[in-house]
Structure 1
C-alpha cells in the first residue's frame, strides 16, 4: 500500500479529490494524516485515510516528570506552557493520545504512527543531552501502555535522531518493543530520520548503504518494520556546520524568536525532499513491509501531485 502525507483543510476537498484520482492511476492508495482541532472529525471521512500520524510533542519528558523548573526554562511562562500542552497537568498527554486513538478508529485508520523521542529546544543545535535514550523509552512505555489497550489499528513506532527510538541500537530497540503491551504493534522506518544520525553521509548511495546496514543490525526485529516514511535530505553537510551563531541568536531571543530559529533549523535538518536512492533494495530487505508513505514537502495541491509522481519513479 502506497500513500502520501496530507493534512486536509477546509474548502479544498474537491480540488484534492481531483488530484488524488489522478494519483490513484499511478498506484497511490490513500493518505497518512494528522487528526487535529483544525477540522471536524467527520470531515476526514471524505478522505482516503489509511494511516494516522498521532500528535507529536518534541519536548515532553520534563513536563511528564513534573519538573516544572525545566519546563519553564523551555517555555518561560504559564502562557507558553498552556499554549504548548493545553494544561499544567501531565495527564493531558494521556487524555490527548487516548482521544487520538479513539478518533483514528472512528475514521477507519489501518495504522497509527507514534514518535518515540524527546529533545529540549536548546539541544537541537548542540546535541548535548542531559537525558538518555533509555530514560525516554521507559517514560514512553508508561504512556503507551496506559493509552493503547484492547483492539485497534496497527501501532507503528517511528525512529527519530534524538534520544529515544533511533533504530540504531538492537538491544535498546528490543528492550522497548518487548515491553509494549499492545499486541498489534511494529516499527515505522523514517529514512531521513535515520540518515540524520550519521554526519558522514554525502549522497544517496551512501544513504542506501547506511540504511541497509541499520536494517541488518536490527537482526530479527526487522521483520516488525511494517511501514516506511520515504523522504530525503539535501546532503549539504548541514550537520557538520558550526551552529554557534544560531545558538547565540537563540539564547537572547524571546520565545517566538527562538521558535522561528528552531523551526528553520529543523527544516534544514529534515527537509522532506524526494528520496533519490535505490528504494527497491531497501524495501527488499523488509520482509513484512505493508505501508509505504511518501512524506514529502509540497507548496500546493498541484505541486503535491508533481512531487508524489516524481518520488514514485524511484519506487516503480
Structure 2
C-alpha cells in the first residue's frame, strides 16, 4: 500500500475525494490519519483509511511516574496539566489509548502507529536528558501491554530522535520488542526521524547510506519493519545552532508562548519535506514492507496533491 497522511476536516470532504481520485491513478491506495474529536467518528468511515497514527504525548514520563515536581516545572499548575492531559491522574493515558484502539477498529484500520519516545519541553533545545532510552522503553511497554490486548490491527512502533525507540541500537530495540505482549506487532521506520539522530548528514546521498546502514544493523529485526514514513529534513545543520536566544525567550514565556516557540523549533528540526534520495534502495532492503506512507507537510488541501505527486516521483 502507498498512502499519505491526512486528517479529515469539516468542509474539505468533496475537495479531498477529487484529489484522492486523481492520486489513485498514480498508485495511491489509502491514507493514514489521526482520530480526534474535531469531527465525529462516523465521518472517518467515509475515508479510505488504512492506518491510524495514535495520539502522541511528547512529554508524558514524569506524569506517568507521578513525579509531581517535574510535572509542575513543565506545566506550572493544575490548569496546565489539565489542558495537556485532560486529567490529573496518570490513568488518563491508558484510557486515551484504549479509546483510540477501539475507535481505530471501528473504522477498519489495518495498522496503527505508536510513538515510543519522551522529551521534556526544554530538552528539545538543550538535548540534555535526565532519563534514558531504557527508562522510556520500560514505561512504554507497561502502557502498551495494558492497552493493546486481544485481536486488532497491526501495531507498528515508530522511531523518534528523542530517548526511547530510535532504531539505532539493536540490543535496546530487541529488548523492547520482546517485552510487548501484543502479537500483531512490528516497526515503522520514519526516515526524517532517523536522519535527525545523526548530525553529520549533509545531503540525500549521506541520508541514503546512513539509513541503509541502520537497517542492516537491525539484523533479523529488519523483517519486522512493516511500515515506512517517507519524509525528509532540510540539510542545514539546524540542530548545531546555538539556541540560547530561543531558550531565553522560552523561559520568559507563559505556557501558550512556550508552546509556540517549541512548535516553531520542531518544525525546523523536522519539517517533513520531500525525500529526494534513492528511496528504492531503502525500500528494497525491507523484505516484509506492507505500508508506505508519505508523511509530508502541505500548506493547505489545495497544496496536498502537488506535494504527494512530487514525492511519488521518487517512490516509483
- For 2:68 and 2:14, the matched residues in 1 are separated by 46
The Cα of 1:239 is off from its aligned counterpart by 1.2
Aligned match of 1:143: 143
- For 1:86 and 1:174, the matched residues in 2 are separated by 33
Aligned match of 1:279: 279
Aligned match of 2:235: 235
- For 2:46 and 2:53, the matched residues in 1 are separated by 18
Normalised by the length of structure 2, the TM-score is 0.99
Q: Find out whether 1:246 has 2:254 as its counterpart.
A: no
Aligned match of 2:214: 214
The Cα of 1:302 is off from its aligned counterpart by 2.1
Consecutive unaligned residues of structure 2, counting only runs of 5 or more, are: none
Q: What's the Cα RMSD here?
A: 0.5
The Cα of 1:78 is off from its aligned counterpart by 1.1
- For 1:239 and 1:67, the matched residues in 2 are separated by 29
The runs of at least 4 aligned residues of structure 1 exceeding 2 Å deviation read none
- For 2:87 and 2:205, the matched residues in 1 are separated by 46
- For 1:84 and 1:244, the matched residues in 2 are separated by 26
Q: Find out whether 1:168 has 2:168 as its counterpart.
A: yes
**Paired residues, number:** 316
The Cα of 1:249 is off from its aligned counterpart by 1.2
- For 2:20 and 2:68, the matched residues in 1 are separated by 46
- For 1:39 and 1:296, the matched residues in 2 are separated by 22
Aligned match of 1:302: 302
Aligned match of 2:71: 71
Deviations for 1:18-45, whole angstroms, at most 9, x for unmatched residues?
1100000011001000001111100000
* 1:163-202 equivalences in 2 (<5 Å): 163-202=163-202
**Helix, strand or coil: the match of 1:229?**
strand
Aligned match of 2:223: 223
Consecutive unaligned residues of structure 1, counting only runs of 5 or more, are: none
Deviations for 1:94-125, whole angstroms, at most 9, x for unmatched residues?
00000000000000000000000000001001
